[in-house]
Structure 1
Amino acid sequence: MSKLTADLTYDYLSAEAAPTREERIEATYAFGGSCTTLKHGMGQGCTKYNSRKFAQGGGCQLNLALGIVRTFQNSVIIIHGPLGCASNNLGIAGYSKTFRVLKQKQGTDNVWIHTNLDENDVIAGGIDKLRQAILYAEKEYRPDAIIIGNSCVPGIIGDDIDSLIDELDGQLSARVVPVHCEGFKSKFVATGYDSAYHGVLKKLVDPIKKQDRINPDDIAYTTAEETERYINSKTVNLLNVGSTSFGDEFELSRLLKALGLTVRVLPLYASIDEISRIGEAALNVSICATHDDYLIGHLKERFGTDYVIDTLPIGIKNTNQWLRVIARFFKLEDEAEKLIAIETAQLEEALVPFKKELQGKTVFVGGGETRIFTTAEFYQSLGMKVLGLKPHNFDRFAVPMIDDIDDQEAVIDVAPGQPSEELVILNRLKPDLYVGHVGAPAWVTKLGIPNIPLFGQSLNYMGYSGAFELARKAVKSLKNTNFPKKIAANVPLPFRPEWYASNPFDNIKEAQQG
């Protein structure tokens, strides 16, 4: 569906691991400047070669990959690596079970095993430990899937986990999925998503019968097979991500069902059977290109399933656009326009008091690229001025969104982590409100800036009801700013005063144009 991906190929499943994003897609993780200069740099193709002299911090590809696969129902996760690679799982021990219940899924436990590689294993290899872990998982839990997260150390020492899986083939009832998420291979932490989906596509997604797409209005179905074809012809896979809440999923499903479509929300928190049949839908709908492009690109090439990846339904404009693109595919344009008119009129009326409070205020947004641009555009539509944005990375999917920002000189800092850069920028811009990714508000509060989270699993952000909640949260935060003011007055800033007078982008090494 998206012209942006017309020249990309996704035929990588013959390889053991997904390619890095450096190899596969035009993207950058290091840039400092304005909307105008970023768009120019992307157009010239030079920004993807930018780098940093020093990286203060970033994400872990293993954690991002596990964020997908550990949500699957009745599965066991085996983390193959040193003990520290499992530490993140301690913090989310009850997380998956809780959110399965919130999302009205089967409330199974989050089961994970660790191979605990030590110094001896680094020399002799850790395959025997992994073999024992797989056989133990099969015997003890009888899962539908055993998923192996291969961390940096076994990747460096050369543990051949794929040969081990082939060796055990036929001895296990569970499907065994290798996930190669060795973080040293790529500077783009989002490569972890590709690693997870590479394993899922190879081992969990079943082939489907090649059938011509039917017109649901013309079919006269009588057999069970024809009935199934009819249902599939009106089925949408709504692809969720870790930052979508049950409220988000409910709202987006509500809108698609209002058009007469059947909605399946997956892959997170889905069963292995549901994931195996992901290829049966008529359309895949992504709400995050960074998260999903590898998955839906493969499904397009493998099954011919069209997809929508152009926007994220946050705010009025982007929710309307999202609905129109989907409706156009199913030839439901008239139904969509009626729905949009009703929803927009009700929302605009409800937003009137919020617009009065937010008019003329300034905002800075940091986090995932598509989410921050759509969020910024919505606050802009409420009368706020966007002073700056901080995407974790920036790629071709987000380029058209730059034009939605009214002030093309607004600051953009492309950086995974790197709070040292962001705090210098915020200390100078002093926005009235900061909207940011998990972890950032703790730093920002020390500057005395009111802030709200960019997403939350217990909150609603998407669709028309999400737009109302975004406006309400901003007004609530700005009405009472005592907390950040008191923190700023009593908690010291994390860097020396002279750092805040420096150029935050001196650390970025720009690529030389040929």
Structure 2
Amino acid sequence: MRIASVIVDDIEGLSSLLVGMEECTTHSRLFNPKPEGEHGELHWLYVLDDHEVVFGCREGLIDALRKMDRAGAKAILLIVTCVPELIGEDIEGIIHEVQSELTARITFVMLGQFKNISYPPGSRKTIEALATLMEEKETDSSCIINVLGHSPEEDHIPTPFLLSELERHGFVLRYLAPGASLKDFQSGPDAVLNLVVSPYTHPLAVKMEKEFGVPYIALHNLYDVEDIERAYDDIAKCLDFYWDNEFEEERKEALTLQLQAQEKLRGLRYVLSLRIDVPIPLAEYLIRLGMEPLLLHLEEYYPEDKDYIQKIMSKGYNPLICRMVNQEADLSVLEKLSPDLCFGYLSYTNKTISCVPDMFDFYGQVGYNRTINLLRRVLNVLNEMNTSKKGDIKYGSTSF
């Protein structure tokens, strides 16, 4: 609910109606505090009364949507919280009944806390729901490319070099992410290709391919140099042009670092902790580098993780899977596992486990540059460990 309220507030032209009990609606005002947006959006709340908790809110919800339509809403996202979902309210049926008499397009997202215990589902489901607001269009002759999950306004996330090169080749990039407009999302089906740079926009890409025939190439889950090279070739093939060796320097540096990492990481054991945007693809990549997985923290399991899990299992590994919620208590478990490296966030100060920190820094980065930055950080940590142990570390073993 929280992340859905934040996302909808960042999309110009998109209105919202949050449906739930008083505690949910009041809490949502912390993240979307104003009932009117800067560009005429409406962010209204529908508070269930005692009767509706038992018998449903169909009539009241239809009336609220009619009022929002008369007030000028262009499109409405229904954010449905726990109670309507628990009592089995037919939100899809309500929309089907009222949509024909409204000018505003309506979509919805079911975000009962009992099914969504972390923020990734809220992000993924909210962005995916926007496909319902899209309009069937002919592919634009100007070769528009949708970039799913990145906004130029995100100064803290560097714009991938790949995107700059696509623009240099004459392609028009349309960024579909929080910060974009409703019009941008509605125009999405005229693109020749979707590039996925965030795990939270992957479901939207899948839905757009199924419903509008827009192909997609996922970049956010690639680390291996050969996989990245293959994806870049697929992009050129889809767009019917050829690269001019723009990425050769990056590719060579990434490959050099990857070979160094394979030599130094082989045989070491690792765990994945908090704040990693794509843990399963990262776990599979570390296995390619010769490491052994002991434990993986997962906020959520994504359907697209299935192929990576099969690759992990095919290598003979079946690591423990958990969701860490109490780091102080979790530390004793990690210490018993005695990993050589931990990737991700550890909150305690007296660290007994060597850690590759700040893994969420790589969110939104794609391509060779992300692999370069990741491997540099890993190799730096290994060098620091080597220095602290006065050269006693033997890479390729678990004896420290």
TM-score (norm 1): 0.57
Q: Tell me: higher relative CO, structure 1 or 2? Use CA pairs within 8 A at least 6 residues apart.
A: 1
Q: What amino acid sits opposite 1:123 in the alignment?
A: V
Taking the aligned partners of 1:160 and 1:460, their CA distance within structure 2 comes to: 36
Taking the aligned partners of 1:270 and 1:206, their CA distance within structure 2 comes to: 16
Q: In the alignment, what sits opposite 1:298?
A: 207
Tell whether the 8 Å contact from 1:73 to 1:272 is kept in structure 2 after alignment.
yes
Residues 461, 267 of structure 1: CA spacing in aligned structure 2 closer, same or farther, 3 A cutoff? closer
Residues 456, 83 of structure 1: CA spacing in aligned structure 2 closer, same or farther, 3 A cutoff? farther
Q: In the alignment, what sits opposite 2:369?
A: 465
Taking the aligned partners of 2:325 and 2:43, their CA distance within structure 1 comes to: 31
Residues 107, 169 of structure 1: CA spacing in aligned structure 2 closer, same or farther, 3 A cutoff? closer
128, 131, 141: which one aligns with 1:201: 131
Superposition pairs of residues 389-428 of structure 1, within 5 angstroms:
389-394=296-301, 397-402=304-309, 408=315, 410=317, 412-415=319-322, 425-428=333-336
Q: In the alignment, what sits opposite 1:230?
A: 141
Superposition pairs of residues 88-127 of structure 1, within 5 angstroms:
89=28, 92-93=31-32, 112-123=43-54, 125-127=56-58
Q: In the alignment, what sits opposite 2:337?
A: 429
Q: What amino acid sits opposite 1:465 in the alignment?
A: N
Taking the aligned partners of 1:267 and 1:462, their CA distance within structure 2 comes to: 16
Residues 384, 89 of structure 1: CA spacing in aligned structure 2 closer, same or farther, 3 A cutoff? farther
Taking the aligned partners of 2:265 and 2:38, their CA distance within structure 1 comes to: 44
Is 1:264 aligned with 2:180?
Answer: no
After superposing the two structures, state which structure 1 stretch, 143-152 or 83-92, moved more. Answer: 83-92
Structure 1: where are the runs of 5+ without partners? 1-61, 95-105, 212-228, 482-514
Taking the aligned partners of 2:167 and 2:333, their CA distance within structure 1 comes to: 43
Taking the aligned partners of 1:402 and 1:129, their CA distance within structure 2 comes to: 45
Q: In the alignment, what sits opposite 1:75?
A: 14
Is 1:178 aligned with 2:105?
Answer: no
SS at match of 1:345: helix
Shift of 1:150: 1.3
Superposition pairs of residues 252-401 of structure 1, within 5 angstroms:
252-257=162-167, 260-287=170-197, 291-293=201-203, 295-309=204-218, 312-314=221-223, 316-332=225-241, 334-335=242-243, 338-347=245-254, 363-366=270-273, 371-376=278-283, 386-394=293-301, 397-401=304-308
Between the aligned residues of both structures, percent identity stands at: 20
Structure 2: where are the runs of 5+ without partners? 386-400
Q: What amino acid sits opposite 2:135 in the alignment?
A: D
Tell whether the 8 Å contact from 2:6 to 2:31 is kept in structure 1 after alignment.
no
Q: What amino acid sits opposite 2:74 in the alignment?
A: D
Residues 451, 198 of structure 1: CA spacing in aligned structure 2 closer, same or farther, 3 A cutoff? closer
Residues 397, 121 of structure 1: CA spacing in aligned structure 2 closer, same or farther, 3 A cutoff? closer
Taking the aligned partners of 1:253 and 1:297, their CA distance within structure 2 comes to: 21
Residues 388, 323 of structure 1: CA spacing in aligned structure 2 closer, same or farther, 3 A cutoff? farther
TM-score (norm 2): 0.70
Q: What amino acid sits opposite 2:251 in the alignment?
A: T
Tell whether the 8 Å contact from 1:413 to 1:422 is kept in structure 2 after alignment.
no
67, 73, 81: which one aligns with 1:151: 81
Count matched residues.
377
Taking the aligned partners of 1:478 and 1:137, their CA distance within structure 2 comes to: 58
SS at match of 1:148: strand
SS at match of 2:371: helix
Q: Deviations over 1:282-322 (max 9, x none)?
A: 222334667524x3343333333223248624464443232
Tell whether the 8 Å contact from 2:146 to 2:176 is kept in structure 1 after alignment.
yes
Q: What amino acid sits opposite 2:134 in the alignment?
A: V
Shift of 1:180: 3.3
Is 1:441 aligned with 2:346?
Answer: yes
Shift of 1:208: 1.9
Shift of 1:328: 2.8
Shift of 1:149: 0.7
Taking the aligned partners of 1:404 and 1:151, their CA distance within structure 2 comes to: 37
Shift of 1:114: 2.7
Q: Deviations over 1:67-119 (max 9, x none)?
A: 6545422323221012343577466459xxxxxxxxxxx99799743323354
Tell whether the 8 Å contact from 1:240 to 1:249 is kept in structure 2 after alignment.
no
SS at match of 2:374: helix
SS at match of 1:237: strand
Taking the aligned partners of 2:31 and 2:118, their CA distance within structure 1 comes to: 23
Residues 387, 165 of structure 1: CA spacing in aligned structure 2 closer, same or farther, 3 A cutoff? closer
Taking the aligned partners of 2:26 and 2:98, their CA distance within structure 1 comes to: 28
Taking the aligned partners of 1:321 and 1:388, their CA distance within structure 2 comes to: 30
Tell whether the 8 Å contact from 2:150 to 2:364 is kept in structure 1 after alignment.
no
